[in-house]
Chain A
Amino acid sequence: MNDERGTMNSGRRITIDPITRLEGHGKIEIFLDREGEVENAYLQVPELRGFEQFCVGRKAEDMPQLTSRICGVCPVAHHYAATKALDSAFGVAPTKTARKLRDLIYAGYVIYDHILHFYFLGGPDFVVGPDAPKEKRNILGVIEKVGMDAAKEVIKHRAYGQKMTEILGGKPTHPVSGIPGGQTKPLDEEGRKEIETMARSCVAFAEFTLGLFHDVVLANKAYAKLITDPKLGLAVYNMGLVDEKNRVNFYDGKVRVTAPDGKEFAKFEPKDYLTHIREHVLEWSYVKVPYLRAVGYKGLTDGADSGLYRVGPLARLNVADGMATPRADAEYRKLFAFFGKKPVSSTLAFHWARLVELLYASELALELATDKDITGTDIRNMDFHMQEEGVGVVEAARGTLFHHYWLDDERLVKKVNLIVATTNNMGPICMSVREAAKRLIHKGKADDGLLNTVEMFFRAYDPCFGCASHVLGGPGVEVNIRAADGSVRRISD
Chain B
Amino acid sequence: MADKLKFGFYWAGSCGGCEIAVLDINEKILEVVDKADIVLWPVALDTKKADVERLPDKYLDACFFNGSVRNSEQREYAELLRRKSKLLFAFGSCAHHGCIPGLANLYGRKQVFETAYHSEPSLDESKGVEPKTRSAVPEGELTLPKFFDRVFPLDRVVPVDYYLPGCPPPVPVISAALDAVFAGQLPARGTVLAPTLALCNDCARNATYPKKMPDIKRTWETAADTGKCFLEQGIICMGPATRSGCKTRCINGNWPCTGCMGPVPEVKDQGAKMISALAAILALDEEQKLSESDVNKLMAKVKDPVGTFYMYGLASATVNTRTQR
Taking Cβ atoms with an 8 Å cutoff, the residues of A that contact B are: 2-3, 5-7, 9-10, 12-13, 16-18, 20-25, 29, 31, 39-40, 42, 44, 46-54, 56-62, 65-66, 69-73, 75, 86, 90, 116, 120-121, 134-135, 137-140, 151-152, 155-156, 158-159, 162, 166, 169-177, 179-181, 184-185, 273-274, 277-286, 288, 290, 293, 297, 380, 382, 384, 404, 410-412, 417, 419, 452, 464, 466, 471-476, 478, 480, 489-493
Cβ–Cβ contact A65 & B258, under 8 A: yes
B29 / chain A contacts, CB cutoff of 8 Å: 155
Interface string of B96-136 (1 = CB under 8 A from A): 00011101101101011111110011111011111111111
A138 to chain B, nearest CB (A): 5
Given contacts A21-B44, A49-B70, A70-B15, contact A382 B223 (CB under 8 A): yes
> Most chain-B CB neighbours within 10 Å: which of A20, A49, A155, A480?
A49
Cβ–Cβ contact A274 & B121, under 8 A: yes
Given contacts A40-B137, A49-B70, contact A69 B100 (CB under 8 A): yes
A9 / chain B contacts, CB cutoff of 8 Å: 140
Given contacts A59-B303, A62-B307, contact A284 B253 (CB under 8 A): no
A366 to chain B, nearest CB (A): 22
Alpha-carbon distance A44/B141, docked complex (angstroms): 13
Question: Which of B46-54, B81-89, B188-196, B273-281 faces chain A?
Answer: B46-54
Cβ–Cβ contact A58 & B304, under 8 A: yes
Given contacts A58-B304, A73-B16, A282-B126, contact A171 B131 (CB under 8 A): no
Alpha-carbon distance A181/B220, docked complex (angstroms): 9
Cβ–Cβ contact A478 & B135, under 8 A: yes
Residue of A at shortest CB range from B99?
Answer: A69
Given contacts A417-B120, A478-B135, contact A139 B107 (CB under 8 A): no
Cβ–Cβ contact A278 & B124, under 8 A: yes
Question: Which of B20-28, B207-215, B286-294 faces chain A?
Answer: B20-28
A398 to chain B, nearest CB (A): 12
Alpha-carbon distance A120/B41, docked complex (angstroms): 12
Cβ–Cβ contact B167 & A473, under 8 A: no
Cβ–Cβ contact B44 & A31, under 8 A: no
B306 / chain A contacts, CB cutoff of 8 Å: 57
B304 / chain A contacts, CB cutoff of 8 Å: 57-59, 62, 412
A135 / chain B contacts, CB cutoff of 8 Å: 45-46
Alpha-carbon distance A152/B27, docked complex (angstroms): 7
Interface string of B1-42 (1 = CB under 8 A from A): 000000000010111111111011011011001000000001
B219 at the interface (CB under 8 A from A): yes
Alpha-carbon distance A134/B224, docked complex (angstroms): 51
Which B residues from 167 to 222 make CB contacts under 8 A with A?
A: 167-168, 218-220
B137 / chain A contacts, CB cutoff of 8 Å: 31, 40, 42, 284, 480, 489-491
Cβ–Cβ contact B218 & A171, under 8 A: no
5 contacts between A and B (CB under 8 A): A42-B142, A65-B255, A173-B24, A279-B120, A475-B147
B320 at the interface (CB under 8 A from A): no
Cβ–Cβ contact B131 & A478, under 8 A: yes
Alpha-carbon distance A53/B127, docked complex (angstroms): 17
B56 at the interface (CB under 8 A from A): no
Cβ–Cβ contact B138 & A489, under 8 A: yes
Cβ–Cβ contact A140 & B42, under 8 A: no
A283 / chain B contacts, CB cutoff of 8 Å: 129-132
Would you list the 3 A-B pairs with minimal beta carbon distance, nearest first?
A: A170-B253, A72-B17, A473-B116
Cβ–Cβ contact B17 & A73, under 8 A: yes
Which B residues from 224 to 279 make CB contacts under 8 A with A?
A: 224, 226, 249-255, 258
A184 / chain B contacts, CB cutoff of 8 Å: 219, 224, 253-255
B316 at the interface (CB under 8 A from A): no
Alpha-carbon distance A135/B70, docked complex (angstroms): 30
B73 at the interface (CB under 8 A from A): yes
A464 to chain B, nearest CB (A): 7
Cβ–Cβ contact A53 & B48, under 8 A: no
Residue of A at shortest CB range from B146?
Answer: A475
A290 / chain B contacts, CB cutoff of 8 Å: 122
A297 / chain B contacts, CB cutoff of 8 Å: 124
Cβ–Cβ contact A138 & B46, under 8 A: yes
B123 / chain A contacts, CB cutoff of 8 Å: 278-279, 281, 288
